[in-house]
Amino acid sequence: MGSLVSRIADLQDKRLYAELNWTGTFDEYLELVRQTPEVTRTAWQRLYDMIVSHGVSEYTDTKKKVTHYTFFDDPFTAGRDAIFGLDVTLMKLVNVVKSAAYGYGTEKRVILLHGPVGSSKSTIARLIKKGLEEYTRTNAGAIYTFDWNMGEPGEAAEWVPCPMNEDPLHLIPLEWRGRAIKELGLGERCRNYPVPVKGELNPACRFRYNQLLKRYNGDWSKVMEHVRVRRFVFSEQDRVGIGTFQPKDEKNQDSTELTGDINYRGIAEYGSDSDPRAFNFDGEFCVANRGVIEFVEMLKLDVAFLYDLLGATQEHKVKPKKFPQTDIDEVILGHTNEAEYQRLLSNEFMEALRDRTVKIDVPYITKVTEETKIYAKDFGPTSERVRGIHVAPHTLEVAAMWAVMTRLTPPKKHDLSVLQKMKLYDGKSLPGYTPDNVKELRKESEAEGHEGISPRYVQDKISNALASEKGGRYVNPFIVMNELESGLKHHGLITNDEQKGRFQSLLNEVKREYEDIVKNEVQRAISADEDAIARLCANYIDNVKAYTQKERVKNRFTGQDEEPDERLMRSIEEKIDITESRKDDFRREIMNYIGALAIEGKQFDYRTNPRLHKALEAKLFDDQKDTIKLSTLVSNVVDRETQEKIDIVKQRLIQNYGYNDESATDVLNYVASIFARGETKEKR
């Protein structure tokens, strides 16, 4: 067995290291461009190809075709930075990137992610930076730059890197670069984009280039012998290809952070502060060249910074101190909150920036299933944060329901509640509402999704509930809802009592909805006898068939022909609110459905009809609840036979619905108390 160091060293992929650190001559690079012209892509083109490389799928949402980009599921860290419920927003963002990649104009713009706090703007930016880092480590995303040897060719010398990691093609003079690319056939095999011919050397490389050109009396081929091309990878940590700028207070802000600053040690060596060798081209614009620069809270920038930003977007140039305008090629991505954006709109001095900005709205999620995924990522069964603590079913769901409802505007239709609107948005069906109606509801308010409770607030309160463990070693929906309600008193973004009162009333609605959810869940657990449901369904279908065809039904026990059992049929139909006036339509609908299946050679199964399935379960529950005597759980007197039946129901809750023994017991007790209240009201 080798040493510990050697065992760790065996984990290294030396072949990959060699690939990522490839070096070669300029001639070898030209051949590489001939074979793989994609290595010369612009920053926008590389970003677009990176996003698409992870896969694309399409689906329809309320009659609208939506594209889902797998990249935003965060394939790098197992979904830790995954974006949920914003496919339409992300589709708009990718369309802007695609337009810029093909040179349609948006490559001269700043992408500004705009939205309320906690709406995942920073996460999108972080994911893009992480994606580019990984992409440049693959063969498809390979990218190259060059170094200088200022000594004699072939002699051992210190290589001086290009400070801005420029494309080696910039070494071909601009006046004959286009002709050279054409005559050498470079880029002819490129399927998507032509090989770019724009861009000139930065001042430091231009200085060395001119020095060598003088040494060889203008012989360009001799100059190229001093050039070494190398592959490199993006790294935010190493400040290569990815820059991040965050505003500070005015006294500490300096525009040289963007464009670079004088190297005073270099002045002592070279004798002038206008010598490019005495300048550090290490501002964020410089290090982000050929990649992406993120402006955190961009609109908090001082006006002095905006001047650099304007040139960087429209002309793709920056102006380092005492040097000419320098070409850059990078994606400029900023994000901001609503307050700063409103200030931008009201500031007439910011008109130039507004004109160069493409705003992408990043709202809060308005679908409960997608909002739940956010919390499940941190507090779901596979999360390490909840290790040893059981999170009862529906705990995260009710938190998501409340968060989404706070973001919705009250419907203009008086017969529709915010809770019902939330269900429609989530893809649930309600009588009398079609996908077209849902589209109209979304158009009613442009502010929807830009106000309300942030996911961060909900995450904090779930964390509090886990830390307090008020329910022992498990947390249930009521513990979390109590945390959500108590936190409203100290919420820094709730500015008035009216808003606080509205949020509390919505929480009461969620509590009532949860009560219905667990009642139905216990109901299904009690009536989970599949054979009994199948028998009840067969009896119902026989009676419906006889009723619609005006026939009689043979009694299975007496063998006598009888009229269809209207009482049985209505007792089932009433469970799903089928009125007396609509019973004929519903029964014909069932028979037509069975007939259509028969034509296709399929057999009817009640499970394929959700409404009928629900009605059958509810009917069976009513028939069985008296035998189980669930309401006796409220008292401490439960006979042995009833306890055995209750234990069976509890096991079904554990096996089928995700409860543990403690939470299943509490849910049964809670539902029992509901039925006990109902019985008390009936007696009164």
User: Is residue 137 scored above 90 in pLDDT?
Assistant: yes
679 pLDDT tier (thresholds 50, 70, 90): very low
Give the model's pLDDT for residue 397: 95
Q: DSSP secondary structure string, 139-197?
A: STT-EEEEEE--S-TTS----EE-TT---GGGGS-HHHHHHHHHHTTTTTT-SS-PPP-
Separation between Cα atoms, residue 279 and residue 167, nearest integer Å: 21
Assess if residue 621 is contained within a domain: no
Determine the pLDDT at residue 201: 95
CB atoms within 10 A of CB 66: 14
Q: What is the pLDDT of residues 466-525, one digit of tens each?
A: 887 654 578 899 999 999 998 888 777 677 778 888 999 999 999 999 998 998 888 778
Q: Are residues 265 and 309 in the same domain?
A: yes
- 155 and 256 share one domain: yes
Q: Both 150 and 276 in a single domain? A: yes
- Which pLDDT value is given to residue 156? 62
- The first and second tokens of residue 474, run together, are 């498990």
Average predicted confidence (pLDDT) for the chain: 86
Task: Give pLDDT tens digits for 24-49.
Answer: 999 999 999 988 889 999 999 999 99
CB of 395 closer than 8 Å to CB of 476: yes
626 or 105: whose pLDDT is higher? 105
Q: How far apart are CA 216 and CA 218, in angstroms?
A: 6
Range of the domain at 504: 368-525
What distance in Å separates the CA atoms of residue 325 and residue 202, rounded to the nearest whole number?
A: 9
In a domain, residue 657? The reply is yes
Please say if the pLDDT value at position 666 is more than 90.
no
Question: Residue 678: its pLDDT value, please?
Answer: 56
Helices (H) and strands (E) in the chain, counts: 28, 19
Same-domain status, 274 and 245: yes
Give the model's confidence band at 88: pLDDT under 50 very low, under 70 low, under 90 confident, else very high.
very high
What is the mean predicted confidence (pLDDT) over 320-342?
Answer: 89
Q: In terms of domains, do 248 and 307 share one?
A: yes
Q: What is the pTM (predicted TM-score) of this model? A: 0.85
Q: Which of 288, 352, 324 is nearest to 108 (CA)?
A: 352
The last residue of one of the domains, among 358, 384, 402, is 358
pLDDT at 665 over 60: yes
Q: Looking at the domain assignment, is residue 9 inside a domain? A: no
Q: pLDDT by residue (tens digit) across 255-264?
A: 788 888 888 8
CATH number of residue 328's parent domain: 3.40.50.300
Residue 433 lies in a domain: yes
* Contacts of residue 191, Cβ cutoff 8 Å, sequence gap at least 6: none
Which of 498, 525, 552 marks a domain boundary?
525
Mean pLDDT on 123-150: 95
- DSSP-assigned letters across all residues of 403-427: HHHHHSPPPSSTT--HHHHHHHHTT
pLDDT the model gives residue 250:
62
pLDDT at 684: 36
Strands 143-148 and 160-161: antiparallel
Please classify residue 242 by burial: count the beta carbons closer than 10 Å to its beta carbon, then call 0-12 exposed, 13-18 middle and 19+ buried. Answer: buried
Count the Cβ atoms, other than its own, within 10 Å of residue 418. 19
Q: Decide if 377 is inside a domain.
A: yes
What confidence score (pLDDT) does residue 634 get? 47
Cα distance between residue 326 and residue 343, in whole Å: 31
Q: Cα–chain-centroid distance for residue 665?
A: 36
Tell me the pLDDT band of 682, cut-offs 50, 70 and 90. very low
In this structure, are 173 and 235 located in the same domain? yes
Q: Count the domains in the chain.
A: 4
Residue 483, in any domain of the structure: yes
Is residue 41 a part of any domain in this protein? yes
Considering only CA atoms, give the Rg of the chain.
34
Q: For a pLDDT cut of 70, what percent of the chain falls above it?
A: 92
Same domain? For 204 and 95 the reply is yes
CB 93 within 8 A of CB 341: no
Percent of the chain past pLDDT 90, that is, above it, reads 40
Task: For residues 33 and 153, state if they share a domain.
Answer: yes
Higher local confidence (pLDDT), 576 or 125:
125
Distances (CA, A) of 621 to 13, 227, 528, 531: 62, 82, 9, 14
Give the least confident one: 50-64, 390-404, 479-493: 479-493
* In contact, 331 and 111? CB cutoff 8 Å: yes
Tell me what the mean pLDDT of segment 164-179 comes to. Answer: 93
Q: Which H/E stretch holds residue 475?
A: strand 474-475
CA distance 112 to 334: 5
Question: Does residue 11 form part of some domain?
Answer: no
Are 453 and 426 within one domain?
Answer: yes
Same domain, residue pair 470 and 535: no
Q: How confident is the model at residue 680 (pLDDT cuts 50, 70, 90)?
A: very low
- Among residues 312, 336, 358, which one ends one of the domains? 358
Identify which of 85-94, 353-362, 463-472, 535-544 has the greatest average pLDDT.
85-94
- pLDDT at site 505: 93
Section 200-224 average pLDDT: 94
Burial class (CB in 10 A: 0-12, 13-18, 19+), 197: middle
Q: Do 609 and 675 sit in the same domain of this protein?
A: no
More confident residue, 448 or 470: 448
Q: Give the pLDDT band (50/70/90) at residue 302.
A: confident
Nearest alpha carbon to residue 386 among 298, 462, 480: 462
607 and 480 in a common domain: no
pLDDT of residue 662: 87
